């Protein structure tokens, strides 16, 4: 995991109804137990009166044993403040499964970052509904599994995929232009743990062929959107978006070409934030910590 410290750290993501003293309470608790805070970002949604916080501290001198930290937070804070939290440790190295179809730009972008050491993540497997990109997986020495899907076998193939994902202890899934809609059953197994890239500036042009739709509408800017997948198609919490200017000169092929660069950068940005444990989902929206 990416961290600011060379020591092992704990990372806590919190949200609760805003209330006096919550920030002082948590930071004092960490200080008093000799947890050296190396990162703290917090904010309050004034409209809904919700407090959000991400705090990271070094464990070497922390007086509470690592395996009991969650218990302590549950006991001391969760009920008192009506607080929800998730806890991560920098020693955990997440395991990603990458789903692709035939286009290679997101695949290459992700694999090259991983290989260059930009990200601390294991990518033990690539899953596809086609064999086209197996040579790329081979080039990078990553296991490639093809689960071809048609109208009749989708449920069965998804069951196979889930079994494999569980077996390989996959933490989260990245859809790198995977051109298949995942079933609700599949999605519900990985809540806020499937990251998709949609090739439009959502909510504009949800669904199929967004570049064609953008050209038809005559927009002057196109975009790409990465989001967590929910059972509501193209409507999950948005993690990152970016855009690029186009003009009447641009053919659909040109939109596709320009869009590829957006897609890979926006998807990788989202994966990076996820790996950093900097995303908190609340009310189908994301809080992205600094």
Closest CB 127 distance from a copy of itself, rounded Å: 20
Which residue bears the tokens 């969650």?
70
Closest CB 154 distance from a copy of itself, rounded Å: 28
Closest CB 122 distance from a copy of itself, rounded Å: 19
Q: What sign results for the dihedral spanned by CA atoms 129, 126, 227, 70?
A: positive
Residues in the chain: 290
Q: Which long-range contacts (CB under 8 A, 24 or more apart) does 207-215 make?
A: 207/233, 207/234, 211/252, 211/255, 211/256, 211/259, 212/252, 214/246, 214/255, 215/250, 215/251, 215/252, 215/255
- Give the residues lining the site for a copy of itself (CB under 8 A): 4, 20-21, 23-24, 27-28, 31, 36-47, 52, 103-105, 108-109, 112-113, 115-116, 118, 136, 139-140, 201-205, 217-221, 223, 237-243, 245, 247-249, 251-252, 257, 260-261, 265, 268-269, 284-288, 290
Between β-strands 84-89 and 122-128, what pairing exists: parallel, antiparallel or unpaired? unpaired
Taking the least distance from each CB to a copy of itself, the nearer of 64 and 288 is 288
Q: Is 234 in the active site?
A: yes
SS3 call for 123: strand
Closest CA to 196 of 134, 271, 123, 103: 271
Closest CB 177 distance from a copy of itself, rounded Å: 12
DSSP string, 50-117: EEEEEEEEE-TT-SS-GGGHHHHHIIIIIHHHT-EEEEEETT---EEEEEE-S--HHHHHHHHHHHHT
Tokens of 278: 């900097």
Taking the least distance from each CB to a copy of itself, the nearer of 37 and 162 is 37
- Give 156's Cβ-side CA count (13 Å radius): 6
Closest CB 105 distance from a copy of itself, rounded Å: 6
Taking the least distance from each CB to a copy of itself, the nearer of 94 and 223 is 223
Taking the least distance from each CB to a copy of itself, the nearer of 190 and 205 is 205
What span, in angstroms and rounded, lies between the C-alpha atoms of 113 and 109? Answer: 6
Radius of gyration of the chain (CA): 21
Closest CB 203 distance from a copy of itself, rounded Å: 5
- By CB atoms closer than 10 A (0-12, 13-18, 19+), residue 71 is exposed
Taking the least distance from each CB to a copy of itself, the nearer of 94 and 237 is 237
What span, in angstroms and rounded, lies between the C-alpha atoms of 245 and 222? Answer: 6
Taking the least distance from each CB to a copy of itself, the nearer of 187 and 265 is 265
Candidates 234, 242, 250, 261; catalytic one: 234
Query: Which sequence positions are flagged as catalytic?
Result: 234
């Amino acid at each position: 995991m990416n961290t600011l410290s060379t020591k092992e750290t704990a990372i806590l993501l919190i949200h609760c109804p805003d209330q006096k003293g919550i920030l002082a309470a948590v930071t004092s608790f960490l200080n008093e137990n000799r947890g050296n805070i190396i990162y703290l970002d917090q904010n309050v949604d004034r409209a809904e009166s919700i407090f959000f916080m991400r705090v990271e501290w070094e464990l070497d001198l922390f007086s509470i044993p690592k395996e009991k930290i969650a218990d302590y937070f549950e006991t001391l804070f969760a009920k008192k403040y009506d607080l929800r939290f998730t806890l991560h440790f920098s020693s955990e190295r997440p395991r990603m499964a990458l789903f692709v179809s035939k286009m290679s730009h997101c695949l290459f972008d992700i694999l090259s970052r991983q290989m260059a050491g930009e990200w601390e993540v294991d990518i033990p497997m690539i899953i596809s509904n086609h064999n086209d990109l197996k040579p790329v997986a081979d080039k990078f020495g990553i296991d490639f599994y093809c689960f071809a899907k048609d109208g009749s076998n989708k449920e069965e193939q998804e069951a196979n995929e889930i079994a494999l994902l569980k077996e390989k202890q996959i933490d989260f899934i990245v859809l790198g232009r995977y051109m298949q809609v995942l079933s609700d059953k599949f999605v519900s197994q990985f809540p806020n743990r499937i990251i998709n890239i949609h090739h439009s500036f959502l909510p504009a042009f949800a669904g199929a062929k967004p570049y064609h739709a953008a050209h038809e509408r005559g927009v002057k800017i196109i975009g790409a959107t990465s989001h967590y997948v929910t059972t509501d198609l193209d409507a999950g919490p948005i993690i990152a978006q970016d855009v690029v200017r186009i003009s009447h000169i641009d053919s659909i092929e040109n939109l596709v070409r320009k869009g590829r660069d957006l897609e890979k950068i926006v998807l990788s940005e989202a994966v990076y934030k996820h790996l950093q444990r900097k995303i908190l989902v609340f009310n189908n929206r994301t809080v992205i910590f600094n």
